[in-house]
Amino acid sequence: MRSRKKTVNPIGLQDITIVDDAKMRKAITAAALGNAMEWFDFGVYGFVAYALGKIFFPGADPSVQMIAALATFSVPFLIRPIGGVFFGAIGDKYGRQKVLAATIVIMSLSTFAIGLIPSYESIGIWAPILLLLAKMAQGFSVGGEYTGASIFVAEYAPDRKRGFLGSWLDFGSIAGFVLGAGVVVLISSVIGEEKFLEWGWRLPFFLALPLGMVGLYLRNALEETPAFQQHVEKLEQGDREGLAHGPKVSFKEVATKHWRSLLTCIGVVAATNVTYYMLLTYMPSYLSHNLHYSEDRGVLIIVAIMVGMLFVQPIIGFVSDKIGRRPFIIAGSIALLLLSIPAFKLINSGQLGLIFAGLLIIAVILNFFIGVMASTLPAMFPTHIRYSALASAFNVSVLIAGITPTAVAWLVETTNDLYMPAYYLMVVAVIGLITGLTMKETANKPLRGAAPAASDLNEARELLQEHHDNIEQKIEDIDTQIAELQAKRENLVQQHPRID
């Protein structure tokens, strides 16, 4: 049988995707709003955990109430990998936009449902059961939400601006937290703590429905990403019949060919999300329950920290387009390892200014991670498996990170050591550092399996020249390797009497 040589056409200017600014802005807005919706609920839940503990676990000790409420927050993370596998396969087969429309519907409805659940006094054990079911529905939808949103933004963004544009996704996360916390503080201060515990805690969850409707409207108006459209067009040219059933996704390929990328993804997400949940979900309860600050005062401190994070977030993304993503992962991990104990010494000082400074240290370190995560992760996998691979790896690591509030609360109560959160962060810092040192740089490079993407024609010309220069350098490297191998061959030939 004769083998036919595969013809590869030279890459020209026509092969570079020039991103439409209007479509790109819509994509980022819709993705960030959905992420804000997700973290609005997580923020509200973290800030009203003390209230939920009293309402759904009224007979327990106050410490047990808080741990039980935080455990209800953590249990849905067991469901996230299932949602990740389900939505990941759909996203790679039928497109990213369809999944993002579905996840925001499930997320908003399940969050709204929490506000409808009667108290333990009204329906007994069914109250915490219904709460758990609503949180599990959230976990299922969130399994495909963040990964889908980050892929959507990454596949729309020009190569040289992917870090800056991707940073707005987690800007939405922080904004959702700020909104959730602000709503809790506003309602609690207006109606008082007694009425807040009676019925006011429900109001923040009710806001999820209108927010979800806005997000659904924006996402339904979006077009599919250029990278996925290019992938489908290639399939149309090669296998029209197979395309009728959607692109094929091989999990064996993900596990065997891309295991290094999977491990890198797990390391980055674990370091990022443990720090995230420690600061934004656990710390409000830590300040109120362990340091005996009033709930409102603890929340206000965290809200002030998050507002500051909003300003830092896009700066990190912008700088990462200039110097790369790896420096931020490495620097953030080293800072977390060295500064966690000093930060908690400040937090436990009892002085408001020092408490704020300690939390600010952790917040800036967190910015180093989340400022680059949304642009780093999608670049690790090729287009045809990007959603499946990223969703699987992301949700496995989030499964680990999601137990952070419950685990740390239990460790503090068991050991009576207020520095347990710092030790926890230091362990995670080692994981982040190993990951940062071993990962490949992805800044200013096309996504794997996708054409280069530019903001305008001039930038497209520059990218094309860089691409050609890169090819020339690779050819020179190969020629050097061939010459070295040829010299080794000649040396070996001379040592053998019967080989010319």
Q: Does the pLDDT value for residue 243 go beyond 60?
A: no
* Per-residue pLDDT tens digits for 335-367: 999 999 999 999 988 888 898 899 999 999 999
Sign of the torsion angle spanned by Cα atoms 90, 91, 93, 95? positive
Confidence band for 241, pLDDT divided at 50, 70 and 90: very low
* Per-residue pLDDT tens digits for 75-99: 777 787 888 888 888 888 887 888 8
Q: Does the pLDDT value for residue 3 go beyond 50?
A: no
Is residue 292 classed exposed, middle or buried when 0-12, 13-18 and 19+ CB atoms within 10 A define those classes? exposed
The Cα–Cα gap between 32 and 111 comes to: 18
For residues 110 and 213, the answer to whether their CB atoms sit within 8 Å is no
Q: What is the pLDDT of residue 63?
A: 65
Confidence band for 328, pLDDT divided at 50, 70 and 90: very high
Q: Chain-wide mean pLDDT for the chain?
A: 82
Is residue 111 classed exposed, middle or buried when 0-12, 13-18 and 19+ CB atoms within 10 A define those classes? buried
Confidence band for 59, pLDDT divided at 50, 70 and 90: low
The Cα–Cα gap between 221 and 30 comes to: 9
254 or 416, higher pLDDT: 416
Q: Does the pLDDT value for residue 70 go beyond 70?
A: no
Which range has the top average pLDDT, 40-44, 125-129, 296-300?
A: 125-129
Q: What is the pLDDT of residue 312?
A: 92
Q: Does the pLDDT value for residue 294 go beyond 90?
A: no
Q: What is the pLDDT of residue 242?
A: 45
First to last CA, the chain: 31
Q: What is the pLDDT of residue 293?
A: 75
SS3 370: helix
Q: Mean pLDDT over residues 110-129, rounded?
A: 84
* Per-residue pLDDT tens digits for 445-463: 888 877 788 777 888 788 7
Q: Helices (DSSP H) in 324-351: which residue ranges?
A: 326-347
Q: What is the pLDDT of residue 345?
A: 94
Of 86-95, 145-154, 295-304, which range is least confident? Answer: 295-304
DSSP state of 60: S
Percent of the chain clearing pLDDT 70 (strictly above)? 87
The Cα–Cα gap between 177 and 40 comes to: 5
Q: What is the pLDDT of residue 124?
A: 80
Q: What is the pLDDT of residue 361?
A: 94
Residue with tokens 């892929």: 151
The string over 357-378, giving b where at least 16 C-beta atoms fall within 10 Å of a residue's C-beta and e elsewhere, is: ebbbbbbbbbbbbbbbbbbbbb
* Per-residue pLDDT tens digits for 8-45: 566 767 677 787 778 888 888 888 887 787 778 766 77
Confidence band for 74, pLDDT divided at 50, 70 and 90: low
Task: Compute the residue count for the chain.
Answer: 500
Confidence band for 431, pLDDT divided at 50, 70 and 90: very high
Percent of the chain clearing pLDDT 90 (strictly above)? 20
* Per-residue pLDDT tens digits for 189-198: 888 878 887 8
The Cα–Cα gap between 359 and 344 comes to: 8
The Cα–Cα gap between 294 and 196 comes to: 14
Q: Mean pLDDT over residues 213-219, rounded?
A: 82
396 or 421, higher pLDDT: 421
Q: Which residues pair with residue 18 across a beta bridge?
A: 454
Q: What is the pLDDT of residue 144?
A: 82
Q: Does the pLDDT value for residue 240 go beyond 50?
A: no
Q: Mean pLDDT over residues 285-303, rounded?
A: 75
Q: Does the pLDDT value for residue 245 go beyond 50?
A: no
Which stretch of DSSP H or E encloses residue 454? Answer: strand 453-454
CA 328-333-338 angle, 5° bins: 125
Which range has the top average pLDDT, 192-206, 211-225, 261-275, 281-295?
A: 261-275
For residues 167 and 317, the answer to whether their CB atoms sit within 8 Å is yes
For residues 9 and 148, the answer to whether their CB atoms sit within 8 Å is no
Q: What is the pLDDT of residue 71?
A: 67
Is residue 389 classed exposed, middle or buried when 0-12, 13-18 and 19+ CB atoms within 10 A define those classes? buried
Which backbone phi and psi does 385 adopt, to 5 degrees? -125, 10
